[in-house]
Amino acid sequence: MQKYTVGIVGATGAVGEEVMRVLAQRDFPIKKLRIFGRPGRNDRSVGFKGKIIPVEQLTRDPHFRGIDYLVFAASGQVSQNFAHLAVNSGCIVVDNSSAFRMAKYVPLVIPAINAHALKSHQGIIANPNCTTAITLMALWPLHKRFKVKRVIASSYQSVSGAGQEGIDELERQIKLDVEERRMTNDRFVFAHQIAFNVLPYIGNISLSGYTDEEMKMQNEGRKIMDHPTFRASLTCVRVPVRRAHSISVSAEFHDTVSVEAAHSVLVGSPGIDVIDDPSGNRYPMPLEQAGHDNCAVGRIRKDCAFENGLSFFVSGDQLLRGAALNAVEILEELVKLR
């Protein structure tokens, strides 16, 4: 069996760590793993399958030659600075940032939906936004069956969406509240206290009044589903949950919907668990989805405000489905195509 040299840029962040964990767990055929980190950061090495891997500094002229697949799990700026360099060094890049997602020559892929888009690329493949990816895992099977027209959604996004620092900030604020019964000005990641609060603003505002984070649902959804008239109105809200994002979705379809048909389409869809027995207190919850590969969908019902709509609630681990797992699944597809 052929093995590959895999590199990870930003392996000491929340997503990078998950990429390593998923590579090991799924036993991706690795000949050599190379890790690139921020210059000046203290993490000198990381463990992988019982071995110690040194962290190489991401200097101006990094040595990418010999790497088959390079996963970028850092900022969009880092991807912009180094991805083309990596491609010129012969790497295939899987980029977790938003830097190249909407570029025409870059496939934007959720393997369960559009693995075929991987057949033609120019060296860079983009991983979708986490909230979009989790929503589309449930929406795509419904779209195939009923043809989605538009979606109105609101998110419940966990603090780890802002990295490990987001978790740390929530923990510190909670601890202060419990021990000293006080609010805190100790805010670095979020603009306001997130403990015991919700923040209806993620990303940067655009002229439309939506944030860039919110518009990803429509923009990336159109590209991934190859559905140029798809419309999506999303409100992104941060909630004091450690890990796993949830999305409340109302979707209108062209074809006649029924809850029974929706259930039978979703049960057995890849990467989806239907958890939908509200009176038995079974519904998707972030606390249960954290650490799980599959996304959970429930509260499936006919939408009472659309002629032909379905409402549902979906929860998924954004570090896995929205990032690391999706990236490794892309690697697996690329290996199949070789």
Separation CA 248–CA 315 (nearest Å): 9
Kindly state the DSSP code that residue 278 receives in the 8-state scheme. G
- Report the residue from 35, 115, 124, 152 that binds a second copy according to the rule CB under 8 A: 152
Sheet of 51-57: strands edge to edge? 45-48, 51-57, 30-37, 4-9, 69-72, 92-95, 124-126
15 in Cβ contact with 319 (< 8 Å): yes
Asked if 232 touches a second copy (CB under 8 A), the answer is yes
Query: Is residue 130 among the annotated active site residues?
Result: yes
H-type alpha helices, the chain: 14-25, 76-88, 111-114, 130-146, 164-180, 212-225, 259-266, 286-289, 325-337
Show contacts with a second copy in window 275-314 (CB under 8 A): 278-279, 281, 283-287, 298-306, 309, 311, 313
- The CA–CA distances, whole Å, from 178 to 38, 99, 187, 192 equal 35, 40, 17, 18
Residue type, 289: Q
Question: Binding of a second copy at residue 139 (CB under 8 A)?
Answer: no
Our finding on whether 241 is near a second copy (CB under 8 A) is yes
Site map (CB under 8 A) of a second copy, residues 154-173, x = contact: x-x-----------------
Q: Does 261 bind a second copy (CB under 8 A)?
A: no
Confirm or reject binding of residue 147 to a second copy (CB under 8 A): no
Residue 13 binds a second copy (CB under 8 A): no
The amino acid at residue 40 is G
Residues 172-201: x where in contact with a second copy by CB under 8 A, - otherwise, as a string: --xx-xxx---x-------xxx--xxxxxx
Contact between 132 and 101 under an 8 Å Cβ cutoff? The reply is no
Region near a second copy per CB under 8 A, out of 38-46, 64-72, 228-236, 327-335: 228-236
Q: Is 295 a catalytic residue?
A: no
Sheet holding 231-235, edge to edge: 231-235, 148-156, 245-253, 309-316, 295-302, 272-274
Q: State the minimum distance, in angstroms, from the CB of residue 212 to a second copy.
A: 12
Residues in Cβ contact with 324 at an 8 Å cutoff, skipping those fewer than 6 apart: 15, 18, 19, 21, 22, 73
Shortest approach of a second copy to residue 309 CB, angstroms? 8
The nearer residue to a second copy, 122 or 235, going by C-beta atoms, is 235
Asked if residue 240 binds a second copy (CB under 8 A), the reply is yes
Number of residues that bind a second copy (CB under 8 A): 62
Q: Which of 91, 121, 245, 295 is catalytic?
A: 245
Is 163 or 240 the residue whose CB approaches a second copy more closely? 240
In whole angstroms, the minimum distance from the beta carbon of 310 to a second copy comes to 10
Site for a second copy contains 267 (CB under 8 A)? no
What share of residues in the chain are helix, strand, coil (percent, to 5)? 35, 25, 40
Contact by Cβ (8 Å): 21, 31: no
Residues involved in catalysis: 130, 245
Residues that bind a second copy (CB under 8 A): 150-154, 156, 174-175, 177-179, 183, 191-193, 196-201, 204-205, 208-211, 215, 218, 231-233, 235, 237, 239-242, 246, 248, 250, 259, 278-279, 281, 283-287, 298-306, 309, 311, 313
